[in-house]
Amino acid sequence: MLALTDEAGRLAVLRQLNLLDTPPSEEFDRLTLLAARMFGVPIALITLIDATRQWVKSAHGAPSHDMPRGATFCEHVVRDRQTLVVADASEDPRFPATPFAASGAPVRFYAGAPLITRDGHVIGTLCVFDYVARSFTAAERHSLEILAAQVMTVIELRHSSGRLHPSSRLPNGAQFGEDLADLTRRLPGQSRILVVIDVVDPDHLPTHINLLGPRWERELPAVVIRGIRAVFGDDLTIYHPLSLRFAFLLDPSASPGWQDKLDQMMARFRQKTIEEVPLALAPSLGVVPFRLGDFADQVLLQRGVMAAHEARAVGRMLSPAHDGPGSAPGSAPGSANDWHDAHMLLGELRRALALPGQLSLAFQPRLDFTSGACHAVEALIRWNHPTLGPVSPGEFIPLVEQTTLMTELTLWVMDTAMREIAAFRACGVALRVSINVSASDLQSSDIAGRIAALLARHDLPAEAIELEFTESSLLPNRSFVHQQLRAIRERGIDIAIDDFGTGYSNLAYLKSMPASVVKLDQSFIRMLATSARDRAIVKAAILMAHELGYRVVAEGIETEEICAMVAGWGCDEGQGYHIARPMTAVQLAAWLTERAAPAVAVSLP
């Protein structure tokens, strides 16, 4: 049985409910409205009594502000654990000073019923006020108590498994949805920032589990929650929408310097050790600025999770020295500035994809050594950012490749390349365009079907395109990759292995892949004039690739001497600055016209 003086226990229960300092919520406001109407009073409140203050969760007919605990009627309800009715405060010797005034007028009537938790703690009241003295019948008193029990049902429902994450007892994704809807109703259009923290790198999870044993599921989130609280304080509502992901909302106008605080928080995580285990946590951070009403709750959370995922990918890119969860503090993903830069770049690219003008394609011709003609070009993306200037694909493609934005980008490249090549074909130039595709594109289901649909849209045959995959993109998840490539080949689309020689695979392995072209990496070609070793490798690679039935393209041909060398060794095609630099479609048309017989002119619409 509960000891009446168990104030510490009462406060602990109150805090666990995660209600203090939370924003107003419609489900509580409906109950105070109902109370006011039921009893015909101007004011109804739901109050919670904290250690030293009275905090108002819902107020009907009065402003809601904190009051010192000792100065309130509700304090008596909590202390005596029973309903209090004050018919006329001005006549009541227990209340010599008027404890509550609203709209300038002192209140005279008060009735408050205790909010009693299932384990017997009184955490606050449902109370009604009037500016005039009045009586309160036993039936009314009973109704008020029933309504107070209803308030408790709502509180406990919020706290039940439907609204709480079972492991942390923090509000879950469903509660996030409710709260976001409440906030949007009150302050539509206001700016907020969603922060999502992805606790561990999935690659490191097995190590964490090994080191921490069964405690990992409790310990990892606990460290993150403590880290957030240490920087943002106890009043912040932290949501736990998914097992190893946490989220909170910031109001940028009310939290100046929030970026610095996020950096501080991340720095704390990197220095943390979990009990005796020297684990440097490397959570990743997703930050989504938005306006209330912009997104449905699940879409918003999804964006946050995606942003955290991107941030981790960026962190990997920026911290090649990062070598696992036991590594030294500071080696975890991305310093704040790097993180901001790379994150910004991805955000900018997302915008560039949605707007015309920033992204374009350059085409680099491939020379057929047998005929001396150009039948194929490679499409290379170009990004001209309005303030950053040209951003090289070598800089942004590796970042994008780690995100789902990659497939969007690839489809944009395909669509644009096909449109341009269709224009050449319409002029009677049967060019083929080679398009770079990333490993992550192969993860998207039915990529073959999507490419076929694009070909159909541009009224192009399958042989109008070729897809380039780097060696390394073909390595993981071999049987799935194989299946996807076969589906592409079955639609009559050729596949080239790009940058051959830079990965670790050998031709025998690649032979199992349904490719028909091998592009020798420019790092071997560039040094041919001076390196006997590279000459030996390239000669052997051409021979072997031919044995296995591939066409061979040499990339990065920068001089006439190298061009003659690879052509002499039987290489089928060449690409490089010596032959032609990447150029716009209009320049390509002029270049082709110049090389072709004088009677042929290519003129694009």
Q: Given the complex with ligand C2E, which of 173 and 398 has the nearer CB atom?
A: 398
Tell me how crowded residue 394 is: count the other CB atoms within 10 A of its CB.
7
Least distance (Å) between residue 241 CB and ligand C2E: 32
Q: Which is nearer to Mg ion, 113 or 400 (CB)?
A: 400
CB 318 within 8 A of CB 333: yes
| Torsion angle, alpha carbons of 54, 59, 62, 65, to 10 | 30
Cβ closest to Mg ion, residue 22 vs residue 436? 436
Interatomic CA distance for residues 9 and 265, integer angstroms: 30
For the CB of residue 552, give the shortest distance to ligand C2E in the complex, in Å: 15
Those residues whose C-beta lies under 8 Å from the C-beta of residue 541, and which sit 6 or more positions away, are 500, 501, 507, 518, 520, 524, 552
Q: Which does 72 bind (CB under 5 to 8 A by kind): Mg ion, ligand C2E, none?
A: none
Nearest approach in angstroms of CB 566 to ligand C2E is 12
Binding site for ligand C2E (CB under 6 A): 364, 380-381, 392-394, 397, 413, 436, 438, 468, 498-499, 522, 555-558, 575-577, 582
CA proximity to 198, closest of 281, 297, 300, 260: 281
Of 502, 421, 497, 527, the C-alpha closest to 464 is 421
Given 263, 401, 468, 573, the residue binding Mg ion (CB under 5 A): 468
Residues that bind Mg ion (rule: CB under 5 A) add up to a total of 5
Among 198, 499, 572, 573, interactor with Mg ion by CB under 5 A: 499
Query: What is the closest distance, in whole angstroms, from the C-beta atom of residue 457 to Mg ion in the complex?
Result: 24
Q: Which is nearer to ligand C2E, 292 or 361 (CB)?
A: 361
CB neighbour class for 466 (10 Å; exposed up to 12, middle 13-18, buried from 19)? buried
Burial of 584 (C-beta count, 10 Å sphere; 0-12/13-18/19+): middle
Residue 381 binds which entry of ligand C2E, Mg ion, none, with Cβ cut-offs from 5 to 8 Å by kind? ligand C2E
CA-to-CA distance for 387 and 381, rounded, in angstroms? 18
> 505 Cβ partners below 8 Å, 6+ apart?
471, 474, 475
Residues 545-574 interacting with Mg ion (rule: CB under 5 A):
555
Instruction: Please state, in angstroms and rounded to a whole number, the distance separating the CA atoms of residues 181 and 188.
Output: 10
Which of 167/523 has CB closer to ligand C2E?
523
In the bound state with Mg ion, the residue whose beta carbon lies nearer, of 83 and 436, is: 436
Residue 325 binding target from ligand C2E, Mg ion, none, CB below 5 to 8 Å by type = none
Grouping H, G, I as helix, E, B as strand and the rest as coil, residue 513 is: coil
Instruction: In angstroms, give the least distance from the CB of 524 to ligand C2E.
Output: 12
Write down the least CB distance from residue 468 to ligand C2E, Å. 6
Which is nearer to ligand C2E, 285 or 377 (by Cβ)?
Answer: 377
Nearer to ligand C2E, 262 or 381 (CB): 381
**Rounded least distance, CB 526 to ligand C2E, Å:** 7
Residue in 436, 438, 484, 575 binding Mg ion, rule: CB under 5 A: 436
The distance of closest approach from Cβ of residue 499 to Mg ion in the complex, given in angstroms and rounded to an integer, is 4
Amino acid at 159: H
Long-range Cβ contacts of 146-154 (<8 Å, 24+ apart): 147/31, 147/34, 147/35, 147/38, 147/113, 148/113, 148/114, 148/115, 148/116, 149/116, 150/31, 151/28, 151/31, 151/46, 151/115, 151/126, 152/115, 152/116, 152/117, 154/27, 154/28, 154/31
Please report whether residue 219 would count as binding Mg ion according to CB under 5 A.
no
CB 475 within 8 A of CB 466: no
Nearest to Mg ion of 227, 501 (CB atom):
501
Position among 420, 498, 572, 573 found at the interface with Mg ion (CB under 5 A): 498
Q: Which entry of ligand C2E, Mg ion, none binds 168, CB below 5 to 8 A by partner kind?
A: none
Instruction: In angstroms, give the least distance from the CB of 485 to ligand C2E.
Output: 16
Contact residues: Mg ion, CB under 5 A: 436, 468, 498-499, 555
